[in-house]
Amino acid sequence: MIQLNRCNVVIDGQWGSTGKGKLTGYLYNKYPEITVAVCDFMPNAGHTYVSDDGVAHITKALPSAISFDHIENVIVGPHAVISESRVIEELSREQFATKKFTLHIHPLTTVLSDSDAAVERDTLNNIASTMQGSCASVVKKMWRRPEQAHLAKDNDKLKEFVCDTHKLMQRLLKHGKTALLETAQGFDLGLNNGFEWPYCTSRDCMVGRVLDNAGVSVKDCGSIIASLRTYPIRVGNTEGGNSGPCYNDQHEITWPELSARIGITVEEKTTVTKRVRRVFTWSDKQIKRFLNAVKPDYAFLNFVNYLNISEYSDFIADKGKLLADHGCKLSLLGTGPRNSDMITIQAMGWRCNECGMIIDTPNCGCDGCGSIDYT
Out of 75-89, 233-247, 250-264, 300-314, pick the least confident.
Answer: 233-247
- 43/62 Cα distance (integer angstroms): 10
- 265/274 Cα distance (integer angstroms): 18
Containing H/E element for 73? Answer: strand 73-76
Q: What is the mean pLDDT of residues 304-309?
A: 94
Q: Which of 17, 134, 243, 331 is catalytic?
A: 17
pLDDT band at 127 (very low <50, low <70, confident <90, very high): very low
End-to-end Cα, the chain, rounded Å: 20
pLDDT band at 243 (very low <50, low <70, confident <90, very high): confident
User: What was the pLDDT predicted at 130?
Assistant: 53
pLDDT of residue 137 exceeding 60? yes
Containing H/E element for 179? Answer: strand 178-182
CATH 3.40.440.10 is held by the domain 7-109+159-233+282-344: yes
Beta pairing, strands 278-280 & 252-253 = antiparallel
- Which distant-in-sequence residues (6+ apart) come within 8 Å of 79 by Cβ? 40, 109, 203, 213
pLDDT in tens, 141-181: 888 888 878 899 999 999 999 999 999 999 999 999 999 99
- Answer with the residue of higher pLDDT: 276 or 366: 276
- Which distant-in-sequence residues (6+ apart) come within 8 Å of 19 by Cβ? 227, 229, 300, 302, 303, 334
Q: ω into residue 296 within 30 of 0, thus cis?
A: no
For 49-88, letters b (16+ CB in 10 Å) and e give bbbeeeeebebbbbbbbbbbeebebbbbbbbbbbbbebbe
Per mean pLDDT, which of 145-154, 183-192, 197-206, 350-359 is the most reliable? Answer: 183-192
Q: What is the mean pLDDT of residues 213-232?
A: 98
- Cβ neighbour number for residue 306 with a 10 Å cutoff: 17
17 is known as an active-site residue = yes
- Cβ neighbour number for residue 100 with a 10 Å cutoff: 8
Residue 19, SS3? coil
pLDDT in tens, 325-352: 999 999 999 999 999 999 998 755 555 5
